Amino acid sequence: MTTTILGYPRIGAHRELKFVTEEYWAGRVGEEELQSTASTLRRAVWTELRDSGLGTIPSNTFSFYDHVLDTSVMVDAVPDRYRALSGLERYFAMARGTADIPALEMTKWFDTNYHYIVPELSLDARLRLADGAQAKPVAEYLEAKTLGVETRPVLVGPLTYLLLAKAAPGSPEGFVPLDLLGALVEVYAELLERLAGAGAQWVQLDEPALAGDLGAREVEALERAYRRLGGLSSRPKILLATYFGTVAAEALKVVASTAVEAIGLDFVTRPDTLEVVASAGGLPHKTVVAGVVDGRNVWRTDPARARSTYAVLLGLVGQVQLSTSCSLLHVPVDLDSEPALDPAVRARLAFARQKVTELVALDAELRSDAPQAAPASAAGVDAEVRARLEALGDIQRADRRTRSAAQQAKLGLPDLATTTIGSFPQTARIRRARADHKAGRIDDAAYTEAMRAEIGQVIRLQEDLGLDVLVHGEPERNDMVQYFAEQLSGYAATDHGWVQSYGTRCVRPPILHGDVSRPEPMTVKWAAYAQSLTAKPVKGMLTGPVTMLAWSFVRDDQPLPETARQVALALRDEIADLEAAGIGIVQVDEPALRELLPPRRADQDAYLAWAVAAFRLATSGVAISTQIHTHMCYSEFGEIITTIADLDADVTSVEAARSHMELVADLREAGYANGLGPGVYDIHSPRVPTVEEMEANLRRALKAVPADRLWVNPDCGLKTRGYAETEAALANMVAAARNVRATR
Ligand SMILES: Nc1nc2c(c(=O)[nH]1)N[C@@H](CNc1ccc(C(=O)N[C@@H](CCC(=O)N[C@@H](CCC(=O)N[C@@H](CCC(=O)O)C(=O)O)C(=O)O)C(=O)O)cc1)CN2
Ligand SMILES: [Zn+2]
């Protein structure tokens, strides 16, 4: 037996990669320094893993932006619009766009808060191993080898890669990326041969798609791909890694029949993986890389549970190695950087470094037969919260027409009302004030004053621009989830627990460890201050229960819906306080609603039911004249379209610019008849949208939504943008709304 992990954080223990990359983008450091920092970070990971005693060590887990984008570049799946560029310039243009070329799309990596760059494939794509012997996985394998570390290069598996890709715009009807499987597998065949030539003993092919529902076509593709790769005469041994759920039984059967030497299985996400292996008649000729340590949550592993999984597996499979359930990309690097955490919570935690140590210890324990003590786990119980939830009555609001009449009487908004999604640019000045406050360089009063000054500016700007519904701009929030978590009981925040979300953007997911309650109002003083500065309505801004869970590390000792109800109750209280303070519109953001959708159809309805119930619990306590908004972004909404209607918010804003408002008609079909704000421009790019393009978007939307229900807003919050482009874009947006109002 031995140990391994499926991947490791790449951003650096102190976000070194983020900082150097952003300096490179700003033109303040050159490529040489960028490359040298990257190399230092890779080496640090390899030597750390080697010194920790881990059995086998992954490589090619580094990326300058995203591992799916790396794969696209590696197989030369580069759309023509980037062909004039080369090297890193091309790579970052694909990720982020340039002044002239739009970026590739970005979307959620399965049900995580990591985002990948969506491959765009056309029927005539000529896939090939772009850099031949210098291909990234080969180069990184050799780089580790010169340090004396033998590694297992990690690749996105060909099936998963194609299932995550989309057909290039203008592709012939019926073309799907999976049609390119044959060509892609030949590129992987060449790569595997080159890796073998470089001396690699093992390669890891990640196929998380195998934990979802698979059709006959996908199963057939799986078989074709791995028969071909398994049958290569010169290749490393193959570890085919499945994760983010239980491997589909049909897929396991196929993989078992190929020459693949090892299969990675996730024993953490769901309880039924052992049953699937047993029903398949075991895997007597394979090594199972058993994911017994949770790769994406921060709780210490229960050794008794790992032991029993191991014992059962021993009787079912050829060999067992202990591993993480998925890459450690999704957890922070080091618990030792968090001295301020409550010791009782801390005792229950393991970050990436600690998980490696856990694996080594588990392995030693299983060899020596000396059982380890289980972590003491005692989540805080709040009897009052439980009693209140128990006693809670109706969570249904009055019917939509009654509400909308009352709200219109009170708010008197024009047709095509203009607004924004909440945040305004998080400037260096704002972040510095927060850092100064935290370090004690400025006191509470000075910090409050600094934030009020920001709010004052944002309100004035919106009045000057002529927006109809204003926001306070969220300057006081380090992050829309962390900010609330820092104020709720039952939640802990970290100081350095950074996890990559996309590119150089990171988050510190808070840790939800016990029953949740709200000791004090969380947003009222900021919202009320903003409202005191203007006669226009100011929209209060909260993060919804599902998103509060999705972007946190959540306790695993009670069902998720229970935890969601506790968060929802705290939000319900907050909304009541906002209403009492004179805030007539409250937006409850649920950008992660789609993200938590389980991969298997069979599990989806139950999830959607509790997600809707939690949202309604949070939002149903208000007067009919109080307008509830919600906001969603970063998702393919297809599967949750009827759920958006079920939330029954008075107004829903959704990301729509990149899909050209397609969603608007879909929502109407699904019976959505409330207010709708399809984003009229993409906020992910510094490009300033023209009045004409936003007008065109609005006219398109008007075909499906009447003007008195159509809202005009950007796709999402503006926190990652600068002021110059924000002001220009919003001015154009208001002009577009006015033009459409005038010429309808
Ligand atoms: N949790 C979460 N998930 C999400 C989103 C989101 O907003 N939140 N949005 C979607 C896209 N994901 C995103 C993730 C991160 C960021 C983002 O802007 N992150 C910032 C950090 C935000 C933050 O926590 N800021 C803190 C800390 C800032 C900081 O780095 N401070 C310096 C010191 C201050 C300075 O001198 O600048 C330090 O700690 O070293 C603050 O403002 O207080 C970044 O990576 O740069 C944006 C979108 C989906 N998932
Ligand atoms: Zn958003």
Atom of ligand 1 nearest to the CA of 506: 45
Q: Which of 18-32, 42-56, 82-96, 647-661 shows the lowest mean pLDDT across its residues?
A: 647-661
Residues 713 and 676 sit within 8 Å (Cβ to Cβ): no
Q: Does the Cβ of 480 fall within 6 Å of ligand 1?
A: yes
Which residue has the least CA distance to atom 41 on ligand 1?
478
pLDDT, one tens digit per residue, over 659-691 is 888 899 999 999 999 999 999 999 988 889 999
What confidence category does residue 374 fall into, taking pLDDT thresholds of 50, 70 and 90? low
What fold, for 16-368? TIM Barrel (3.20.20)
The answer, yes or no, to whether residue 370 has pLDDT greater than 80, is: no
DSSP for 359-414, written as a single string: HHHHHHHHHHT-PPPPPP------HHHHHHHHH-----PSPHHHHHHHHHHHH-PP
Q: Does the Cβ of 634 fall within 6 Å of ligand 1?
A: yes
What confidence category does residue 744 fall into, taking pLDDT thresholds of 50, 70 and 90? confident
What confidence category does residue 149 fall into, taking pLDDT thresholds of 50, 70 and 90? very high
d(Cα 620, Cα 604) in Å, to the nearest integer? 24
Between the CA of 677 and the centroid of ligand 1 the distance, in Å, is: 25
pLDDT, one tens digit per residue, over 471-518 is 999 999 999 999 999 999 999 999 999 999 999 999 999 999 999 999
pLDDT of residue 634: 74
Average pLDDT over residues 222-240: 98
Give the helix/strand (H/E) hosting 289: strand 283-293
pLDDT of residue 636: 75
What confidence category does residue 12 fall into, taking pLDDT thresholds of 50, 70 and 90? very high
d(Cα 299, Cα 301) in Å, to the nearest integer? 6
The percentage of residues in the chain with a pLDDT greater than 70, rounded to a whole number, is 99
The answer, yes or no, to whether residue 76 has pLDDT greater than 70, is: yes
What confidence category does residue 377 fall into, taking pLDDT thresholds of 50, 70 and 90? low
Q: Does the Cβ of 551 fall within 6 Å of ligand 1?
A: yes
The answer, yes or no, to whether residue 714 has pLDDT greater than 70, is: yes
Pocket test for ligand 1, best of 106, 109, 505, 508 (most atoms within 8 A of CB): 505
The DSSP 8-state label assigned to residue 681 in this structure reads S
State the CB neighbour count (10 A cutoff) for residue 615: 27
Between the CA of 479 and the centroid of ligand 1 the distance, in Å, is: 6
Is residue 472 among the annotated active site residues? no
CATH architecture, range 403-427+464-743: Alpha-Beta Barrel (3.20)
Residue with token string 């739009």: 102
pLDDT of residue 394: 78
Atom of ligand 1 nearest to the CA of 509: 1
Which residue has the least CA distance to atom 45 on ligand 1?
505
**423 marked among binding-site residues:** yes
For all residues of the chain together, what is the average pLDDT?
96
| Span(s) in the chain for CATH 3.20.20.210 | 16-368, 403-427+464-743
Q: Does the Cβ of 113 fall within 6 Å of ligand 1?
A: yes
Average pLDDT over residues 267-284: 95
d(Cα 155, Cα 62) in Å, to the nearest integer? 11
User: Which residues are near ligand 2, the ion (C-beta closer than 5 Å)?
Assistant: 591, 633, 716
Between the CA of 433 and the centroid of ligand 1 the distance, in Å, is: 15
Residues 207 and 148 sit within 8 Å (Cβ to Cβ): no
pLDDT, one tens digit per residue, over 506-563 is 999 999 999 999 999 999 999 999 999 999 999 999 999 999 999 999 999 999 999 9
d(Cα 679, Cα 420) in Å, to the nearest integer? 9
Q: Does the Cβ of 117 fall within 6 Å of ligand 1?
A: no
pLDDT of residue 378: 79
pLDDT, one tens digit per residue, over 162-198 is 999 999 999 999 999 999 999 999 999 999 999 999 9
pLDDT, one tens digit per residue, over 296-336 is 999 999 999 999 999 999 999 999 999 999 999 999 999 99
Average pLDDT over residues 282-297: 97
**23 marked among binding-site residues:** no
Query: Strand locations in 36-167, DSSP E?
Result: 57-59, 106-108, 115-117, 120-121, 151-156, 166-167
pLDDT of residue 619: 98
Pocket test for ligand 1, best of 451, 501, 548 (most atoms within 8 A of CB): 501
Atom of ligand 1 nearest to the CA of 508: 24
> How do beta strands 317-324 and 283-293 pair?
parallel
Between the CA of 589 and the centroid of ligand 2 the distance, in Å, is: 8
The answer, yes or no, to whether residue 201 has pLDDT greater than 70, is: yes
Q: Which ligand is nearest to the CA of 422?
A: 2
Average pLDDT over residues 703-726: 97
